[in-house]
Amino acid sequence: MTGTPEFQTALSEALIGRLRAGAEAMKPWLVQTRRNFHRRPEVGWREIETTRDIVAELSALGYRVTAGQDFLKSAVRLGMSIDPIPGEGDTGCIAVFDTGRPGPTVCLRVDIDALPIEEARGNHAPDAGGWRSERPGVMHACGHDGHIAIGLGVARLLRPLLDGLQGRVKLLFQPAEEGGRGARAVRDAGWVDDVDFLTAVHIGLGAASRVLAVGVHGFLATRKYRVLLSGRPAHAGVSPELGRNALLCACQMVLGLHALAQSSRPGIRVNVGTMTAGKSMNIVAEAARFDFEMRAVEGEDLDALERRCLRLIDSTADAHEIERAYQLLADVGPWTNTPGTSEWALGINRRVRAFPEELTSFNIGGGEDVTTLAARVAERGGQAAVYVVGADLADRHHTSHFDFDEDVLARSVLFLGAGLIDRLLAAPGAGR
C-alpha cells in the first residue's frame, strides 16, 4: 500500500498553512487540557465532571451541544455499576455544527472514560509534575485524557473555518468505552445514522512517537457477561454437606472458561476479570458473581465461543446444584476499516505533514467499541476508519505507570482537522 498518485484534495496550501500554524500554537493548551482531565479521571458512565467541562468548552466555541438525558435518551446502558450514583449513565455529549449547505455529515468520535486503577507514585511523570490523579483508585491509563484534548483541539481548530464549508460536523464525546458499553447506547440513540464518514484515533497501542498507523486491523469483537450464582448456605463447621457452594462452583467455572480459550482462530480470548463471592468464613457461600469477557476477530468465532462458555456455565452450575443467571454487559462487533480509508489518510498526512512516519499495516489485537458505531455507518453506506496515532509510552496501557508522549496531541489535531475539512470541501454531491 503506497500513497497513490490519484490522491486528490481540495486543501489549498493556504489552508494547510493556517491549520499547521493553528495546531502549533495550540500545543501548550493541549498539554494543559490533557493534564487537567488526567487529574480528575472518572470511570465509564460516571464521567460527570468530565462531561460538564467538555460541554462548557464546546458551548463556548459556539457548537450546539446535546448532553444529559437528551444525549442517550432511553437507549439501554449495558454494564452500569450496581449502585449507580446520581447522574450515572447520562454522561458524554455531542457537538454539532451545520453549515446549512448541502454536503456530507462527518463525525469525529472521542472516548472520555478512565479506568479503576490506582495511579503510580514516584518515578512517574504525572506524579512528579503534580498532575497525578486526584481520585483514589481511578486513573486515565489508556490515553482517553489525550483523546479528549485532541477532540477539543479539533473543535477549536475547525470552528473559525467551518462557515465556509459544506455539510455538517459532529464531534461525539462518547462515555464508557472501556468494557465496550457506551458505543452501543450512542448507536441506539441514533447519533450516527446520518453520518457519511466517521473516524477516530487511538493514542499509543505500541506505535512509536511520530508514527501514523493506517491499515489498522485485528479489532477483537467482544461480548461480556455478568454471571450470578445462587446456592444454599450452611454452617461450614456444623453441616457443610447441606450447603451448595456457589464460590466453589464459580472457581470451577473460572478454570473451565480459561481452559476453553485455546484456539488456532485469530484473537480468541476469555477473561474472568472480577469475582465476588460469599459473606462469611463460617458459612458455605450462598452467592457468587463474576464478570467475564470473550473476544475474537471473526463474528462466527465469537458466537461459537459464546455457546461453549454459556454451556460450560450452565452445566457446571447443574453439577454443583447452583442456580444461575447472566446479563449481557457489553457487545462489540467485528470490524474492518472501509476500503480506501488508508490511502486517503496517508494522502492527508503527507499534505499536512502531521506525522513524519507511517505504518501501512497495524494489528490492534484488542477491542475498541467505536467499531460498533463504525459498523452502523458502514451498514448504511458510509465510510469509517480508525487510526492509531503513535506515542512512546512509559508503560503498557491499563497499568499504573501508563503515560504517553504528549507530542502526539498537536500532530493528531492537525491530521484530524485537515481530514475533516477535506471531507467537507467535497462537492455537494458527495453527501447523501
Task: Name which of residues 399 to 418 contact a copy of itself (CB under 8 A).
Answer: 399-400
Binding region for a copy of itself (CB under 8 A) out of 69-77, 147-155, 209-217, 291-299: 291-299
Segment 185-244, which members bind a copy of itself (CB under 8 A)?
205, 220, 222, 224, 233-242
Q: Which strand (E) or helix (H) includes residue 375? A: helix 370-379
Give me the residue label for grid cell 512528579.
128
Contact indicator for 420, 105 with CB cutoff of 8 Å = no
Full strand arrangement of the beta sheet holding 105-111: 64-67, 93-98, 168-174, 105-111, 197-203, 383-389, 211-213, 357-359
CB of 144: closest distance to a copy of itself in angstroms? 14
Nearest to 419 by CA among 19, 6, 18: 19
Does 276 engage in binding with a copy of itself (CB under 8 A)?
Answer: yes
Single out the segment in contact with a copy of itself by CB under 8 A; choices: 30-38, 94-102, 192-200, 258-266: 258-266
Q: Cβ-count burial of 54 within 10 angstroms (0-12 exposed, 13-18 middle, 19+ buried)?
A: buried
Which 8-state DSSP code applies to residue 216? Answer: E
| Options 95-103, 104-112, 123-131, 261-269: segment touching a copy of itself (CB under 8 A) | 261-269
Q: Which is nearer to a copy of itself, 63 or 362 (CB)?
A: 362
Question: How many residues sit close enough to a copy of itself to count as binding (CB under 8 A)?
Answer: 83
Maximal C-alpha separation, the chain: 84
DSSP states along 102-139: S--EEEEEEE--BBS-PPP-SS-HHHHTT-S-SSTT-B
Alpha carbon distance 366, 102 (integer Å):
37
CB of 147 to a copy of itself, least distance (A): 17
Residue among 21 and 259 whose Cβ is closer to a copy of itself: 259
Among 291, 331, 406, 422, binds a copy of itself (CB under 8 A): 291
Question: Considering the rule CB under 8 A, would residue 264 count as an interface residue with a copy of itself?
Answer: yes
> Which amino acid appears at position 1 of this protein?
M
Within 122-181, the residues that bind a copy of itself by CB under 8 A are 178-180
Cell 468464613, residue?
Answer: 281
- When the beta carbons of 75 and 236 are compared against a copy of itself, the nearer one is 236
Q: Rounded CA gap, 349 and 34, in Å?
A: 23
**Shortest Cβ distance from residue 273 to a copy of itself (Å)?**
4
Interface region with a copy of itself, contact rule CB under 8 A, candidates 28-36, 100-108, 147-155, 314-322: 314-322
Least Å distance between CB 353 and a copy of itself? 30
Q: Binding of a copy of itself at residue 321 (CB under 8 A)?
A: yes
Instruction: Between 54 and 287, name the residue whose CB sits nearer to a copy of itself.
Output: 287
From 73, 265, 380, 432, residue interacting with a copy of itself (rule: CB under 8 A): 265
